[in-house]
Structure 1
Amino acid sequence: MVFKALSNETRINILIWLKHPGLHFPAEELRDYDANLGVCVSDITKKAGLSPSTTSDYLSILQKCGLIEATRAGQWTYYRRNEGAIETLNTLIRKSL
């Protein structure tokens, strides 16, 4: 399932954007950024240029395979990378391929 999640350029871009949010999202959108929470789904949607439903589908796919984590805060959902899972995948690829 992980490789299927990574077969889409936008999903890969989301992972890249979440690695260094300060480089990929305007400062005004990250004004209240908290690394423990991550980036708000609305900011990811805007950056991706996709509909909210498509963005939610993409984030769900990444979350189901463990590459990102979601945190709900009030009415907002925030996403951040699961660095442990990404490092495990990186190790697996290096050793197996």
Structure 2
Amino acid sequence: MVNENLIHKALANPFRREILRWLKAPREYFAQGYIDLDCGVPANAILARSGLSQSTVSAHVAALVAAKLLVSTRVGQWMFLSRNEDVIRAFAEQMRSHL
């Protein structure tokens, strides 16, 4: 379930950790119209907040999705992102028990 190496690689980048922080408390970081509590935050809202290029943000999001730290949900033309709390919890517990 938890690929420790992929997660460490994903978390090594400060911007990826920032994305996870934003999605932990989306009401603090995104306008109300952007949040869909059932689906998450649209990828374009993360892009707008970051000030980075679309390709850069996509690469960072892809790394977080590959590590299963984020879940992406497509609704029509929109891609919504949310944290995978089960994986985050399992990884934290694994680190706590092994270190």
Q: Same fold (TM over 0.5)?
A: yes
Equivalent residue number for residue 10 of structure 2: 5
SS of residue matched to 1:63: helix
Q: 2:83 aligns with which of 81, 84, 87?
A: 81
Shift in CA distance, 48/84, structure 1 to aligned 2, threshold 3 Å: same
Q: Does 1:50 align with 2:46?
A: no
Equivalent residue number for residue 3 of structure 2: none
Kindly report structure 1 stretches of 4+ aligned residues shifted beyond 3 Å.
Answer: none
Q: 2:39 aligns with which of 26, 37, 40?
A: 37
- Cα RMSD for the two superposed structures: 1.0
TM-score with structure 1 setting the length: 0.92
Segments of 5+ residues of structure 1 without an aligned counterpart are none
Q: Is the Cα–Cα contact under 8 Å of residues 34 and 41 in structure 2 kept in the other structure?
A: no
Q: 1:15 aligns with which of 20, 31, 43?
A: 20
Alignment coverage as a number of residue pairs: 94
Segments of 5+ residues of structure 2 without an aligned counterpart are 1-5
Shift in CA distance, 55/24, structure 1 to aligned 2, threshold 3 Å: same
- Cα offset, 1:32, TM superposition: 5.1
